[in-house]
Structures are given as C-alpha cells and as structure tokens.
C-alpha cells in the first residue's frame, strides 16, 4: 500500500470532521425539544445514518481508484 498524499489526507480529514458534525447535528435535532417522541427520533435518524457513513468511509478510505 502506498503512502497517502497530503491531498488525500485532507480529504480524509474533511470526511471525518463532516461525519462528526452531521452526527452531532442529529443529537441536537433530537434533544433540542422538551419531550422526545418516536416521531422526532425517526425523522432525524437520517443524520445518524449520514454521519456514520461519512465517519466510516473516512476511516476506511485508502484513496484507491
């Protein structure tokens, strides 16, 4: 496996940061209300999926084509 270039390291860093921000946005969207209902959790579940996918792909990304 070749060493990642600085450009690839930056891409990976942005993927990780973006995933964490989206994941945190999901928590904020759920807990900003006084009462937590299943509708709120279900409607904001996409934040957790998108954030988790970005974090996972940032950790596993090797830059191969």
Domain ranges for the chain, please list them: 6-60
Tell me the pLDDT band of 57, cut-offs 50, 70 and 90: confident
Q: Please count the other Cβ atoms lying within 10 Å of the Cβ belonging to residue 31.
A: 11
How would you classify residue 63: left for phi > 0, otherwise alpha for psi between -120 and 50, otherwise beta? left
pLDDT given for residue 65 in this prediction: 58
> HSE on the CB side for 52, CA within 13 Å?
7
pTM: 0.72
pLDDT at position 64 over 80: no
In this predicted model, which residue has the larger pLDDT, 6 or 4? 6
Summarised one tens digit per residue, pLDDT across range 22-52 is 888 888 887 887 777 888 788 788 888 888 8
Token readout for 35 is: 């009462």
């Amino acid at each position: 496996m070749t060493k990642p270039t600085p450009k690839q390291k930056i891409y990976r860093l942005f993927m990780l940061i973006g995933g964490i921000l989206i994941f945190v946005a999901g928590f904020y969207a759920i807990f900003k209300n006084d009462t937590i209902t299943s509708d709120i959790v279900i409607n904001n579940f996409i934040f957790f999926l998108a954030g988790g996918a970005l974090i996972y792909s940032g950790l596993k990304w090797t830059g191969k084509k």
